[in-house]
Amino acid sequence: MTRQRLTVFILCIPAILSVTVGQAEEPIRIGMIGLDTSHVIAFTRILNDPANPEHVPGAKVVAGFKGGSPDLESSWSRVEEYATTLQKDYGVEIVDTIAELCGMVDAVMIESVDGRPHLQQAKQVIEQKVPFYIDKPMTASVKDAVEIARLAKKADVPWFSSSSLRFAQAIRKAVDPETVGKIVGCSAYSPCHLEPHHPDLFWYGIHGVEILYTAMGPGCESVTRISTPDTDFVVGRWKDGRVGTFRGTRSGNGQYGCTVFGEKAVTNGQGHDYGGLVAEIVKFFKTGIPPVAPEETLELLAFMEAADTSKERGGVPVPLPDFSTE
């Protein structure tokens, strides 16, 4: 390169940088509904704090609606504290209505710790045509989840729901097809504390069931459950003959993980994190393509509801509905 050309190139650098900066994408504005779970602090920290080790760029939490359930101690006892933290530490604006929140944001995260209000909350988001993520438990019944899916499909509003365990690094490594090959079975486990307003596995067991479905995929046809005060053991039979199990614990050293049985290897994964899920949420808000199909989420919820039915009937196998054409 001649000295004259080099001089021209150097002189052009500020202009190039100026154009690049000017074209930088504005972060996606996220609104949170239901500020009564520790997830709202954890997720906002990852999104809004560039110094966070798990920081995910491209989106920012800008608004929140408190919500809260007066008959659920783990909700009403925390909502004010978490709302104050979001406001003071992260500059999140607290608003009085979901409609107001939807008018301020590009996407919504429904975070209410209680699954019962999720249907009514989702209805309002769908009416405003805003894409949304629903944290666990998606709902407190399969019926409500099916209705959310129906309304969102009718309005052409993208959504998804998942436990963070589906995208945890340890779990993704355990189910990696390059290592394990075709998966022929899985034994998943997690804590399984109960909450009387929800089916047994919806409250905490969903983490382990999400791990199970991450490995096995959809297609379970029947569920059998053994239950004691300290333990739940659920066996799922898939349509292709594979068997997957979930062990839910209420005593001992509760961990999140799985053993995956593959054609090439048997792998183990244990641990959880939030960064993987938050990254998938941001990607979803950018593309509109859910990382988990609605049909799989509905089947996963039906798996847990069928486990309750099996328990009530003394441990008999209970068939699952087919959501493949929903």
Question: What's the pLDDT tens digit per position in 88-146?
Answer: 999 999 999 999 999 999 999 999 999 999 999 999 999 999 999 999 999 999 999 99
Q: Please, what CATH class does the domain formed by 165-319 belong to?
A: alpha beta
Domain residue spans in the chain?
28-161, 165-319
- The pairing of strands 243-249 and 93-95 is unpaired
* Contact residues for 286 (Cβ-Cβ < 8 A; gap 6+): 28, 58
Question: What's the pLDDT tens digit per position in 313-325?
Answer: 999 999 999 887 5
Give the pLDDT of residue 18.
40
CATH T-level topology, domain 28-161: Rossmann fold (3.40.50)
- For residues 205 and 11, what is the distance between their CA atoms, to the nearest angstrom? 61
- For residues 45 and 52, what is the distance between their CA atoms, to the nearest angstrom? 7
Per the CB < 8 A criterion, the answer to whether 89 and 40 are in contact is: no
Residue ranges in the chain whose pLDDT is less than 50: 1-22, 326
Half-sphere exposure at residue 8, Cβ-oriented, CA atoms within 13 angstroms? 5
Give the pLDDT of residue 319.
98
Give the pLDDT of residue 71.
92
Give the pLDDT of residue 24.
63
Give the pLDDT of residue 91.
97
The sheet with strand 159-161 has its strands ordered as 93-95, 59-65, 28-33, 107-110, 132-134, 159-161
